[in-house]
Chains A and B, each alone.
Chain A
Amino acid sequence: MAYEPHITSAYDRDLEEIQTTIMKMGGLVETAIMSAADSLESRDEELALHVREGDAVIDRLEEQVNEACARTIALRQPAAGDLRTILTVMKISTNLERIGDYAKNMAKRTSVLVQMNPIEDSAGSIRRMAKQVEIMLTDALDAYIQRDPELAEDVRQRDMDVDQMYNSLFRNFLTHMMEDPRNITACMHLHFIAKNIERMGDHVTSIAEQVIYLVSGEMPGDNRPKRDMTPFEKTETRL
C-alpha cells in the first residue's frame, strides 16, 4: 500500500487480508466473464456449467469482504484514507459480485443456446465485447491496487465503447428477428447476454469511480459523453 504502516500492525494485517480477498474475487470474476463468453462461442456446455457453479465461490468471498469490513469498522474506527478504503472495498465487492451474477446468467443462457442454430457471428461479437469488459475490469482493479486515478478515468471513458458494441448488437439482433421469426428465441437470449455484458461494463465503471473517490475523496463528475440512444428509438422509424 502507498501509505506508511500503522502503529498497530494488526490493523495493517486486517487491511491486507481484505485487499487479498478482493483481488481473489476480481481474478475469479475476470475468469468467469471470459469463460462464459468462450463457452458461448465454442458451444461448450461443460464450461458453461463450470461458470454457473463457480459463482457460489464469488458470493462467498463477497460475504467475507463484508464481514471483514464490518469487523474493521467496529474494532478500529477507520478514518480518512483508511475509511475511504473500507467504503471503496465494500462497493467494489458488491460490483464484482453483480458482475459474477451476470456471467452466471450468460452461462445459463449459453446452456440453452447450444441447443439452437447459431446466429451468424453473434457469438464472436459477444466474445469481443466480453473481452473489452474483462480488460477494463483488469485495469480498474490495477488502478485500485496502484491508487491510480488516471487509469481509473481511462477505464471510465472506455465504457462508451462497450455501450456502442451493445447498440450495434442490438440493431443486429433486431434485424435477424425481423428477417426470420424463428430466430426470435435465440436472439432474445443473445440480446440478454449482450445486455448483461453492457451492465458489467457499468459495474466496472462504478469500480473505476470508486478508485477516483478513494484517491481524491470526491466522486468524479458526470463528464462522460452522452450515450447513444439507439435502444430507445422506435422500430418503425428505423426501417
Chain B
Amino acid sequence: MAEEKMPEQFSVDPSVNEHEIKFHCENCQVYYGENHAIKDVEVDLLDKTVTAFIGPSGCGKSTFLRCLNRMNDTIDVARVEGTFQLDGEEIYDKQVDPVQLRAKVGMVFQKPNPFPKSIYDNVAYGPKIHGLTKSKAELDELVEKALRRGAIWDEVKDRLDAPGTGLSGGQQQRLCIARAVATEPEVLLMDEPCSALDPIATAQVEELIDELRENYSVVIVTHSMQQAARVSQKTAFFHLGNLVEYDDTGTIFTNPKDPRTESYITGRIG
C-alpha cells in the first residue's frame, strides 16, 4: 500500500503559477492630490491568466488597474510612482507612447461604450489609426477575427453596417471587447465589465473572458466576489489602498490567510 503513488493535491489549475510574468509591479504609489490612494503595492500579474481585483468601494482596485495602461495620465491631480514593467519594460518611461501602450494593454469599461458608428467601424477604428492593415480585405479579415474573439460574430455578421449603439447591453459589451482585442493587445484590463449586464449576458461575457485567457493576460476588477471566483485563477484583495492578499483564487475563497480578506469575502464588515 505504501508503495502506491499518492494522488496529487486538488487544485483548480495548478499550472497557472508556471505562467510567465506579464506585469511586474513594485513599490507602486498613487496620489490624488493629498490623498494616498495606492500604498506600496507589489504584484506580479501572469500571462495567460485571469487575475481578479476585489475589494470594497474606494479600496484602490480600479485606480491600480488604470495605472497598468496609464489611464491615470488623463487625471491632472493623479501622481503615479513606482515600477510598472510590462515584459520587463517600464511603461512610465518617457520614451513610451501612452497611445501605443494602450493598444498593447486594452481596456473594457463598466458601461458598454461603443462609438456612435457602425459595428464594423467600431472594431476597425483601432487597427486603422494604428495602421495595422494594408488593404480593405485585410481589415475585413481582422474585423471578423476580432468579432469572433468577442463571441459576437454570429449575432452581427449580417448587419455590420448597423450602428453599434443599437445592440443590446450584453452585445454592446462584447462588441467593446472585440474592439479592444482588434489591436492585438497582450493584456486586457476590464473594469467591472458585467455590472451593467443581466445574468445571461454576464455568463456570456464570463465565458468569453475564459476563452480570452488562452491568448491574453486578463485583469478584471469586479464587485461580484462570485464572479471573481468563477472567472479568475488568481485573486488580489485590495483594502484602503493596500494589496492585502494575492493568491490562487481557490485559496482566497476557501482558506484566505489575512483576516481582512476573510471578513470581506464572507460578507462581514471589513
Interface positions of A (Cβ within 8 A of B): 3-8, 11, 76-84, 217-218
Contact = CB atoms under 8 A, between A and B. Distances in A.
A2 to B, nearest CB: 11
Given A79-B225, A81-B262, A7 B253 contact: no
Interface residues of B, number: 16
Among B226, B265, B266, B269: residue with most chain A CB under 10 A: B266
25 contacts: A3-B268, A4-B263, A4-B269, A5-B269, A6-B268, A7-B269, A8-B267, A78-B266, A79-B229, A79-B253, A79-B254, A79-B265, A80-B252, A80-B255, A80-B256, A80-B261, A80-B262, A80-B265, A80-B266, A81-B262, A81-B266, A82-B266, A83-B254, A84-B254, A217-B254
B266 A6 contact: yes
Contact of A5 (B229, B252, B255, B268): B268
Interface in B215-270: 225-226, 229, 252-256, 261-263, 265-269
B265 A77 contact: no
Contacts of A83: 253-254
A79 B268 contact: no
A83 B256 CA distance: 12
Interface of B: 225-226, 229, 252-256, 261-263, 265-269
A3 B268 CA distance: 9
B255 A217 contact: yes
Contacts of A76: 267
A24 to B, nearest CB: 25
B267 A6 contact: yes
A11 to B, nearest CB: 7
Contacts of B269: 4-5, 7
A4 B225 CA distance: 19
B237 to A, nearest CB: 11
Chief secondary structure at chain B's binding surface:
helix
Contacts of B253: 79-80, 83
A79 B268 CA distance: 11
B267 A80 contact: no
A190 to B, nearest CB: 31
Closest 8 CB pairs of A and B: A217-B255, A79-B265, A82-B266, A79-B253, A80-B262, A6-B267, A4-B268, A6-B268
A211 to B, nearest CB: 15
A83 B229 CA distance: 14
A112 B208 CA distance: 67
A209 to B, nearest CB: 16
A1 B226 CA distance: 25
A8 B266 CA distance: 10
Given A4-B268, A79-B225, 9 more contacts: A5-B269, A77-B226, A79-B265, A80-B256, A80-B262, A80-B266, A81-B262, A82-B266, A83-B254
A123 B267 CA distance: 52
Contacts of B263: 4
B252 to A, nearest CB: 8
Contacts of A84: 254-255
A112 to B, nearest CB: 37
A78 B263 CA distance: 12
A11 B268 CA distance: 10
B261 to A, nearest CB: 8
Nearest to B263: A4
A132 to B, nearest CB: 29
A76 B252 CA distance: 17
Contacts of A5: 268-269
Among A8, A79, A218: residue with most chain B CB under 10 A: A79
Nearest to A78: B266
Contacts of A79: 225, 229, 253-254, 265-266
B68 to A, nearest CB: 27
A227 to B, nearest CB: 14
Contacts of B225: 79
A218 B229 CA distance: 20
A90 to B, nearest CB: 15
Contacts of B255: 80, 84, 217-218
B168 to A, nearest CB: 27
Contacts of A4: 263, 268-269
Contacts of B268: 3-7
